[in-house]
A and B are shown apart, each in its own frame.
Chain A
Amino acid sequence: MLRTSLAVLAVLSLSTSLVQAQSAWTGGDDLPTSPLACDGTPATPVAKPYDGGVPTNAPDRNGKQITAVDVPKLIGIGYFDATSKGIAEAAAELGNMTATTDGPTEANIDDQITLIDNYVTKGVDGILFAANDPVAIAPVLKKALAAGINVVGYDANSEPDARQWFVNQAEFNGIAKTMIDSLAAEVGEDASFAIVTSTFTTPNQARWIAEMAAYAAACHPNLKWLETVEAQEDNILSFNQANTLINKHGDDLKGILGMTSVATPAAADAVTQAGKCGSIAVVGLATPNAMKPYVESDCVKSVVLWNPVDLGYAAAYVLRATADGTLKPGDTTVKAGKLGDLSVINGSEILLGAPFVFTKDNIGGFNF
């Protein structure tokens, strides 16, 4: 027992002596960052040759009626209901395209491959997909290209040469800009804030945090970052960590940035239960369903993500432009109806545009 006590004391004193001074924002990665311009001028795309695939002997589909099938990761969930709603909207607007959605009932790559294979055999003009696995889906998509079918991905990419274009919902620097801009708009330019993330090594979260640090340094230099805490993908831990931040920093803490769909609602709940709504802003990445209670109670004003209806809508327009031949390798923009001109990035990807901010006015219209 004595040994236990001594060891515990030794460990505790060891850890308390390790008070570290941290310079950069913790939780970010070390990769190079590319912060966007403060006024939102789109970044000049880095010239990169087209690396998508090309359909073999595709018939001339310019202006002709085409049939397309949309194969999302799975059907029956709000997110992909929203993307297929966007696709249907675009098809109705275009008038010369019929699109049906048919996906697996579970996010299962084998079922998805079988489905696509059946449509290739049956014969369609275009395939839209959101891949359950970027590598495993490649062979069946290449088979579709070889059959002369136009193939466009959205939401979840495949290997680039297995499809023609991919509609990318959001880039890291775009999300970072919207997060920091929304925070600064809510708390002011010289307020202090903290971050609740999953872990310091989760790739997407680390990328976003690194980009946010770079963007804040350039465009909101007086925002004061206090610290980043980890909360795994654990809702109660996220709640406890947010509470501890509130307890530790008191009135200095003006904002909390939530980096995951788990951390953001939990942080909002902590602020709500601490009676700090209005004095501590919560801005974060999260799905609308998770955030509705907090947005509707006016505790949270901005939830950052992308709009899946727009994502499906853009994918359908890209497929139409590809079939028409108006979107060719080497092009830098594509027209996507009400969304206007979308930029081509990374060789064969089309960027949906700035992220979408869910607010009290629009969040009720989404169910995912």
Chain B
Amino acid sequence: MTAEDAPPFRARRSGLARLFSAYGQEIVIACAILVLFAVVSTINPRFLGANNLNTIVSGNAYIAVAAIGMSMIIITGHIDVSVGALIGVLATISGTLAVSGYPIWFAWIAPVFVGMAVNAVVGVLVAYGRIPSIVVTLGMLSILRGGLVSVTGGAWINNLPPEYQLAQQRLFDIPAPVWFMILFTVLAALWMRHSAFGRSLYAIGGNAEAARAAGIPIERRTVQVFMIHGAIAGLATVLFATQLKIIQSTVPPNLELTIITASVIGGVSILGGTGTVIGSTLAAILFSTIGAAMIFINVSPYWLRAVIGLLILITVLVDMARRNREMRMARR
């Protein structure tokens, strides 16, 4: 080995280190998924069957999509606990349009715009009203949930036209939700990393005063990120509402918590400023992998909750430790 060979070698090592420091959590989750697949498929090879892979990867696709928007909100330093109720309302609106004779494309796209409109209100209250986002979204949660029950009376929508069932379509034998999840995750990840808008969200969540000093219009950005989150919730709704032949007027219990958990375990710091949407998508896939694995190896589902709880604690602890270390290093 000559002296000239050394620098590129070192550069490659530091590149790997950089990759790991930027995507550490994502790599850990991806490894966890792979380990889980290896272990469970040794016990029961059917775990690797094509249908089971489709079930696992598409099962939580709507949660992964919703978690993209949630990650943006948390990165900006906010939180949204109303997204579950919002998805329920949007699903009912979309289904009602589909059975009332409106064009199918309109039933698909309406949730995106209604979601944007609802979250514009939330964003304005948070940004200009200076009310903490948890308070505003808690209020919105009650309004949406109560409104939904009052308006629908608990009735279900059950005569949906077959061409409405977008999530049941397949391309190359892979369910549509998987394609949408990959597409939206990649687009959002590129946009968050390379656009001025995306980087400004990290800046606001990391240090709002510094961001303001740097000339970032914090209030406008806050309203915008809430509206984008609403639009993404609308996209998630389409995957949620078109999966089955019926739409319930209630939403899965604790849906918003599942979505927030995907973001946090995916490496988005609950304190804002760091994380990626790739992590939250991987975390959503990890949840469905754990869920399916527990059935395949006959482990009580109570462990699923315990495991996810433990993952949250570990992730947050590691995040805190990393922040402390960075602060100590900054002081030095």
Contacts and interface: CB of A to CB of B under 8 A. Distances in A.
Nearest to B255: A234
B243 A8 contact: no
A272 B162 CA distance: 13
A245 B314 CA distance: 31
Interface residues of A, number: 53
B244 A12 contact: no
A227 B298 contact: yes
A273 B310 CA distance: 34
Contacts of A12: 32, 35-36, 39, 307
Interface string A7-31: 1110111011011101000100000
Given A106-B150, A293-B158, A18 B303 contact: yes
Q: What is the interface of chain B mostly: helix, strand, loop, or mixed? A: helix
Contacts of A26: 300
Interface stretch (B43-51, B117-125, B190-198, B216-224): B43-51
Nearest to A274: B51
Contact of B28 (A8, A262, A265, A290): A8
Interface string A246-290: 111010000000000010011001001110000000000000011
Contact of A232 (B253, B293, B297, B311): B253
B156 A290 contact: yes
B314 A7 contact: yes
B210 interface: no
Interface string B1-40: 0000000000000000000100011001001100110011
Interface stretch (A43-51, A53-61, A154-162, A236-244): A236-244
A227 to B, nearest CB: 7
A185 interface: no
Nearest to A20: B298
Most buried by A among B43, B62, B244: B244
A237 B62 CA distance: 11
Nearest to A240: B59
B192 to A, nearest CB: 21
Q: What is the interface of chain A mostly: helix, strand, loop, or mixed? A: helix
Interface string A222-233: 000001011011
Contact of B295 (A4, A234, A241): A241
B310 A11 contact: yes
A253 to B, nearest CB: 12
Contacts of A67: none
B92 interface: no
Most buried by A among B20, B28, B55: B55
Contacts of B314: 3-4, 7-8
A253 B240 CA distance: 27
A235 B35 contact: no
A235 B40 CA distance: 26
A15 B298 CA distance: 10
Given A77-B153, A235-B248, A240 B291 contact: yes
A4 B31 contact: no
A1 B318 contact: yes
Contacts of A78: 155
A40 interface: no
A236 B43 CA distance: 26
Contact of B168 (A7, A77, A273): A273
B204 interface: no
A22 B296 contact: no
B294 interface: yes
Question: What 4 pairs across the A-B complex have the smallest Cβ distances?
Answer: A234-B252, A247-B52, A240-B59, A293-B245
27 contacts: A4-B315, A12-B39, A15-B299, A16-B40, A16-B297, A18-B299, A19-B297, A20-B300, A78-B155, A232-B253, A233-B250, A235-B244, A235-B246, A236-B59, A237-B252, A237-B291, A239-B59, A239-B243, A243-B59, A244-B55, A244-B291, A248-B46, A274-B51, A289-B158, A290-B246, A292-B158, A293-B159
